[in-house]
């Protein structure tokens, strides 16, 4: 099965059979029988009803949207990719970016914060300082190496981080994480990770169930020209129908992030373009540099061995060059070091129809 297609999350067939609606999850061929009477309790696997509940501000943590099939490969790839990077991760631009990310948040002492895909805890520890000893922060990540660094820093911090807990878990399946059962948070954050997920809207809808009514979610998505060599790689993989370890083609502007948040039933407070994410602003590459990036992305960084087969690699080389050339203007390919940061909240009250 290929990933990256939100159609994988579920396909629905509405069958007018004795008032029942059937939900078909074709990854495991399970059929869940559901009543279509809106006044009855809604089963947690029924996406359209869940979306409506989200939009009405009626969802609870029981109403989380399962994203099983598409995320399994995503989580495995993430572990392969980030495990090897864990011990050097804090020395990268992510440290500075999380500092800036914090400046857009209004976290108050005593609040409960959930930091998703927390990595080594760069943002989590800053949040822990903001909520103080009367607050609580939970960081969730799937990569053992990243969590090992986070846990090491927590131990070093002693009492200062007594309010912080790290949990190993897949953020697309928070409902499977025992420690989060029945919990809701004032603030949920996700830094530098949204573009790793196959269906960003479904992922956000899943997280909204863990947000208190009126609670805030903050997350970022890449500018379309951010890490341009990776963008070309994604186009190549899509053309060759191969899996890619991220999904950023949907993130085109502040507006696309706004729409994604709104479609997930949230009220958007603000969308900000944060420039200089990694500190280089804007840069231009020559046409012939495609080859260096091809080697880096398709050969060196191919942890999932997607391009390991020689035939595939040869095909990928031609397509990579083509896609690189398509991006060039006056012989140069531009890279823009920006991200869109969205801050949105779960509605306090249900919106009335009409
Ligand atoms: C670029 S790092 C960002 C880490 C941190 N938020 C920061 O800003 O420093 C992306 C993180 O996402 C985590 N991740 C990717 N997919 C995940 C998943 N399905 N569930 C939990 N964590 C995931 C990776 O393990 C990695 O730590």
How many domains are there within the chain?
Answer: 1
For range 126-142, the mean pLDDT: 98
How many angstroms separate the alpha carbon of residue 168 from the centre of ligand 1? 11
Atom of ligand 1 nearest to the CA of 119: 27
pLDDT, mean over the chain: 81
Least reliable range by pLDDT among 51-65, 110-124, 215-229, 264-278: 51-65
**Considering only CA atoms, which residue is closest to atom 27 of ligand 1?**
119
Most confident of 12-26, 121-135, 223-237: 121-135
From the number of C-beta atoms within 10 Å of its C-beta (0-12, 13-18, 19+), residue 349 rates as: exposed
Give the CA diameter of the chain: 64
**80 pLDDT exceeds 90?**
no
Q: Which residues line ligand 1 (CB under 6 A)?
A: 71, 74-75, 78, 82, 94, 98, 117-119, 122-123, 141-143, 146, 170-172, 191-193, 196
User: In which residue are the tokens 């949204």 written?
Assistant: 194
Give pLDDT, residue 204. Answer: 98
Comparing 18 with 143, the larger pLDDT belongs to: 143
For range 144-149, the mean pLDDT: 98
Atom of ligand 1 nearest to the CA of 89: 9
How many angstroms separate the alpha carbon of residue 170 from the centre of ligand 1? 9
**68 pLDDT exceeds 60?**
no
Residue 159 forms part of a structural domain: yes
Residue 199 forms part of a structural domain: yes
How many angstroms separate the alpha carbon of residue 75 from the centre of ligand 1? 9
**2 pLDDT exceeds 80?**
no
How many angstroms separate the alpha carbon of residue 69 from the centre of ligand 1? 19
Percent of the chain with pLDDT over 90: 62
Residue 327 forms part of a structural domain: yes
Give me the count of residues in the chain. Answer: 354
**Considering only CA atoms, which residue is closest to atom 18 of ligand 1?**
170
Residue 49 forms part of a structural domain: no
**234 pLDDT exceeds 60?**
yes
Give pLDDT, residue 66. Answer: 38
Residue 140 forms part of a structural domain: yes
How many angstroms separate the alpha carbon of residue 36 from the centre of ligand 1? 37
- Name the pTM for this structure: 0.80
SS3 277: coil
Comparing 24 with 342, the larger pLDDT belongs to: 342
What is the pLDDT confidence band of residue 272, given thresholds at 50, 70 and 90?
Answer: very high
Planar angle of CA 142, 147, 149, nearest 5 degrees:
150
Most confident of 61-65, 106-110, 303-307: 106-110
Percent of the chain with pLDDT over 70: 78
pLDDT 10s digits, 303-327: 778 888 888 889 999 999 999 999 9
* CB-based contact 301:193 (threshold 8 Å): no
Atom of ligand 1 nearest to the CA of 79: 25
Residue 20 forms part of a structural domain: no
**Considering only CA atoms, which residue is closest to atom 1 of ligand 1?**
192
Rounded to an integer, what distance in angstroms lies between the CA atom of residue 107 and that of residue 241? 42
Residue-number span of the structural domain to which 101 is assigned: 71-346
What is the pLDDT confidence band of residue 67, given thresholds at 50, 70 and 90?
Answer: very low
How many angstroms separate the alpha carbon of residue 193 from the centre of ligand 1? 6
**150 pLDDT exceeds 50?**
yes
Least reliable range by pLDDT among 2-16, 325-339, 340-354: 2-16
Residue 91 forms part of a structural domain: yes
* CB-based contact 97:222 (threshold 8 Å): no
Least reliable range by pLDDT among 21-30, 123-132, 191-200, 319-328: 21-30
Q: Tell me the best of 141, 173, 190, 221 to mutate to test the pocket of ligand 1, counting ligand atoms within 8 Å of each CB and taking the most.
A: 141
Residue 354 forms part of a structural domain: no
Give pLDDT, residue 259. Answer: 98
How many angstroms separate the alpha carbon of residue 13 from the centre of ligand 1? 34
For range 96-110, the mean pLDDT: 97
Give pLDDT, residue 353. Answer: 66
Q: Tell me the best of 119, 195, 339, 341 to mutate to test the pocket of ligand 1, counting ligand atoms within 8 Å of each CB and taking the most.
A: 119
For range 270-298, the mean pLDDT: 91
Give pLDDT, residue 17. Answer: 24
* CB-based contact 172:67 (threshold 8 Å): yes
- CATH number of domain containing 186: 3.40.50.150
How many angstroms separate the alpha carbon of residue 331 from the centre of ligand 1? 35
């Amino acid at each position: 099965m290929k990933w990256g297609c939100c159609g994988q999350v579920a396909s629905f067939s509405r069958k007018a059979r004795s008032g029942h609606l059937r939900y078909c999850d074709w990854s495991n061929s399970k059929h869940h029988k559901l009543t279509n009477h809106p006044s009855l309790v809604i089963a947690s696997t029924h996406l359209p009803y869940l979306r409506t509940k989200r939009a009405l501000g009626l969802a609870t943590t029981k109403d989380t949207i399962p994203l099983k099939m598409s995320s399994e490969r995503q989580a495995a790839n993430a572990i392969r990719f980030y495990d090897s990077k864990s011990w050097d991760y804090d020395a990268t631009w992510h440290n500075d970016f999380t500092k800036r990310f914090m400046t857009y948040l209004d976290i108050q002492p005593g609040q409960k914060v959930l930091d998703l895909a927390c990595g080594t805890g760069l943002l989590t520890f800053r949040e822990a300082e903001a909520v103080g000893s009367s607050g609580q922060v939970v960081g969730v990540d799937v990569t053992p190496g990243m969590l090992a660094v986070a846990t090491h820093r927590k131990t070093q911090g002693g009492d200062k981080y007594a309010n912080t807990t790290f949990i190993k878990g897949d953020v697309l399946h928070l409902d499977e994480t025992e420690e989060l059962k029945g919990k809701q948070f004032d603030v949920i954050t996700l830094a530098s990770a949204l573009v790793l997920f196959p269906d960003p809207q479904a992922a956000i809808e899943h997280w909204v169930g863990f947000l208190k009514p009126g609670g805030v979610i903050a997350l970022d998505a890449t500018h379309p020209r951010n890490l341009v060599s990776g963008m070309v790689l994604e186009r190549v993989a899509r053309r060759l129908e191969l899996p890619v370890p991220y999904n950023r083609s949907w993130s085109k502007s502040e507006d696309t992030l706004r729409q994604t948040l709104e479609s997930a039933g949230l009220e958007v407070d603000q969308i900000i373009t944060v420039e200089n994410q990694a500190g280089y602003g804007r840069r231009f590459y020559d046409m012939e540099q495609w080859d260096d990036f091809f080697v880096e992305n398709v050969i060196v960084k191919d942890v999932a061995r997607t391009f390991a087969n020689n035939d595939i690699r040869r095909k990928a080389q031609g397509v990579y060059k083509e896609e690189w050339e398509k991006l060039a203007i006056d012989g140069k390919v531009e890279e823009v070091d920006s991200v869109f940061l969205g801050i949105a909240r779960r509605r306090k009250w249900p919106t009335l129809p009409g």
